[in-house]
Chain A
Amino acid sequence: DVKVTQSSRYLVKRTGEKVFLECVQDMDHENMFWYRQDPGLGLRLIYFSYDVKMKEKGDIPEGYSVSREKKERFSLILESASTNQTSMYLCASSETGPAVSTDTQYFGPGTRLTVL
């Protein structure tokens, strides 16, 4: 079974802190994604990566950055956390290259981040 793990289930940080959310997948997947999930808004894509050291902005990249130094690991960074970044953050991965539109994305359990 594909396994996508996220470093924390719950996280509480203060405004202005630098926050790291880590995601690891164990199936040698090419693509990895970060979403945030908010009530009434569904899931929105923050960043994605289709290869090591490659990254692309999603729909809501402002206030976030990412890092992918190894294929299995994709980190989301909040440079200076703000209260409007309080949310559920979901990481996902998928197997093949960028052109396959039918590929399944596998999700981690999520990190619920609260910024005070």
Chain B
Amino acid sequence: GDSVTQMEGPVTLSEEAFLTINCTYTATGYPSLFWYVQYPGEGLQLLLKATKADDKGSNKGFEATYRKETTSFHLEKGSVQVSDSAVYFCALVVATGFQKLVFGTGTRLLVSP
């Protein structure tokens, strides 16, 4: 079945460091890909998305490129801030039938001053 694999955390960085959180997927069709973020004490919110191969999603300095050849959607940011500390979830939806999101297990990011 469809699945998403994320790197295990926590990822611990100093402020202004470069961030990469790896995400790979397995899907039977042609999925749309998402990154959701969950700040402490809050629900999830959409960070960015990409709907077809080679698309790049971007928001708040974060970027991810839909790579069909490597079935990946890695999240990157050039300079992280303390306020980026959160749990990041990679997810996919396959465009057949209902729009059911399949989530990865989440990666906690901790950024220290």
Residues in A lying within 8 Å of B, measured CB to CB: 4, 31, 40-45, 48, 50, 56, 58, 90, 92, 94, 98-110
Contact = CB atoms under 8 A, between A and B. Distances in A.
Given A101-B94, A106-B45, 6 more contacts: A4-B43, A42-B103, A50-B98, A92-B43, A102-B93, A110-B43
B105 A40 contact: yes
Contact of A90 (B32, B43, B100): B43
B100 A102 contact: no
Interface in B73-113: 89, 93-95, 97-101, 103-106
A107 B45 CA distance: 7
A44 B101 CA distance: 9
Given A56-B98, A101-B94, A102-B32, A108 B43 contact: yes
A112 B103 CA distance: 19
A45 B100 contact: yes
Contact of A98 (B46, B99, B104, B105): B99
The number of chain B residues touching the other chain, given as a range, is: 20 to 34
Given A107-B43, A108-B43, A101 B93 contact: yes
B69 interface: no
A105 B46 contact: yes
Interface in B8-39: 31-32, 36
Nearest to B43: A107
A109 B43 contact: yes
